Amino acid sequence: MACLKLQAIHEARLFEEERRLQGQDSGIAKDIADEIVSFSHTVLKDVRRLEALYEKVIQFCFTRYVGAPWVKEGDDSMALKDTRAALESAFPISGLRSLFGLTPRERFRHLEELSCIVLGIRIFNSLVGSGTALCLPDPKNLLTLHSPDLPLSIEQEIEEGEKQIQELVKILLHSPVLLAKAGSETAEQDLALISAQHIYMTQLNAYRRALLTAFLHTRHHLKEAVSECSSEIVGVGEQLNSQPYTSRDDVFPKFSRIAVSYRKAFQENEKLCSLNCLVAFLASLAGEHTLDVASNVESACRRVHGIFASVGQGDQEECRGVRSAENAEKERDDSEVERPDGEPPREFDGKFELGGNCAWCLAKYAALVPADRSIAAISYGGDAYAFSTLRGAKEFAQHPDRLLSDIRQQIRRQPALIHLLNLDRLYPRSSLRNILKLQRNIATRLKQETPRFGKDTATADQLFLSLHEPRNADAAVMTPVHFETLERDTSYHWNEWELRRRALKIADILNRTTRSSQTKSSHCRMEQETQVYPLKEKEQNTMKSKGTSAIRTKKYITGLRGKTNTKAETVKVELDL
């Protein structure tokens, strides 16, 4: 529980510091920029509206950095005066005509660049001493605000913590022999207390290392930003002194770089101040924990050492020889380790499972022992596992499922290992990050929905359940046949048999073929589904049929041409077909 408390408090405080650093930008400036971008070309025809638009631009350049770290309370009027003077020298009111020739997105970018140029002019005038109303702080003074001894003190705390962790690891590695000889409930309780303290110290040292790394990187970035800002200011001063007339295209980009480096320097300084607060807060948490459990852990360690001293000489040699025998096996050819299930080695991406700790030591002794990179890692189930001994690698290769089951048992006993070993994807419901994220989402949504819900607790409970992270559904769970929605879809059919009939009908139409037609009347019937109907009174139709026809009578007229007798006669012919 102590480690879980440490993780929850530290992660919550870390999130608060990050949100505080991200909330320094003023949201008022964005609203003013949206108003400026939305103005139409008709503003150019009215002088008063044009002057009002120029005042909006001044307000944007002023409020853009009103929440900056270098701004102090009570300097608003002087800062506004400086902003107006710098903007009039860089962007007069006549320049608004060129602003309306751009697209809305280009207008916004132009305003952002203009605010950087105005800030750069203010910084240059303030640091050079050109008679500005407000003196901005020199970024060089930021380097002297932080003590250089803080990283050294953190390194000393890390070294002391490593020594304590090594002592606790030695006790945990000898725990099977001690339990076999002592076999008392007191020994089991002592080992459980030592294991919890071991996990707590490991997590505490991990936080210390992360803060130390962030502190060193941030301080390096601060030095780079201060150096860049100073060099840009010196370069602009030399250019203005050497040339009586300077083009805006040459000097404005330099003013913009001055503003960017100046702002970056103060942002890095704010990060350093936040890291100092986190270091002090972490030290206070560690001090409270030491006062609470230090005496109990020391007593447990003394009792365990007493049990170890009371066992026979042979048992002591057995305990001491565990590590030495395993280290001797490292000198052998580690090609003897066979991969489980004949799985071929995959391309390694440099990330080990369990945070790079030995999987065998965690499964057997609940100890977090850094893995030895000289021993071949084993890939199983898509994850790479590292080991500190060749014996552990061989046992994992022979029985991987059994050791992974033991690791899961250890994680159930110590849930703090989920966050420490970065196993959130395997235990989403027990993940500290997911729990804190859910808590923040609930607080935000309740704050937004409270005016609408009022005192309706049932609706609030329903909102709480709806904000849970999505989970994998069990195989026995089925979705409803018909979903009830607010918008009705008239083309939706809930009956699957009706859908099947429609599908068969469509498939039958697709398989039909159109026969060739010889007459116009039959051609008009081509669009029908069927053109020929079988005879219903007959059981079977054949392709061959026989029948009789009536006698056909033909009449011919003769004697009209080529004869002397021109009298016409009719000849009747009967054809029996």
For 5-53, write each residue's pLDDT tens digit: 787 787 878 787 777 776 655 566 677 777 777 777 777 777 888 888 8
Least confident window among 39-48, 106-115, 237-246, 307-316 = 307-316
Mean pLDDT of the chain: 74
Q: Which amino acid would we find at residue 445?
A: R
The pLDDT assigned to 239 comes to 82
More confident: 321 or 272: 272
Could you tell me if 326 and 390 are in contact, meaning their C-beta atoms sit under 8 angstroms apart? yes
More confident: 414 or 345: 414
Q: What is the percent of the chain where pLDDT is above 90? A: 1
Could you tell me if 359 and 403 are in contact, meaning their C-beta atoms sit under 8 angstroms apart? yes
Letter string b/e over residues 21-54, b meaning 16 or more CB atoms within 10 A of that residue's CB: eeeeebeebeebbeebbebeeebeeeeeebeebb
For 184-215, write each residue's pLDDT tens digit: 666 677 777 778 888 888 888 888 888 899 88
Q: Which amino acid would we find at residue 22?
A: Q
The pLDDT assigned to 524 comes to 52
The pLDDT assigned to 17 comes to 78
The pLDDT assigned to 96 comes to 78
- pLDDT of residue 306 exceeding 70, the answer is no
- CA dist 21 and 39 (Å) reads 32
For 530-563, write each residue's pLDDT tens digit: 555 555 555 555 566 666 677 788 887 776 566 6
The pTM score is: 0.66
**Residue 498 CA to its chain's centroid (Å):** 44
Domain ranges of the chain: 27-63+71-136, 150-311, 320-420
For 140-179, write each residue's pLDDT tens digit: 888 888 788 888 988 888 888 888 888 888 877 777 666 6
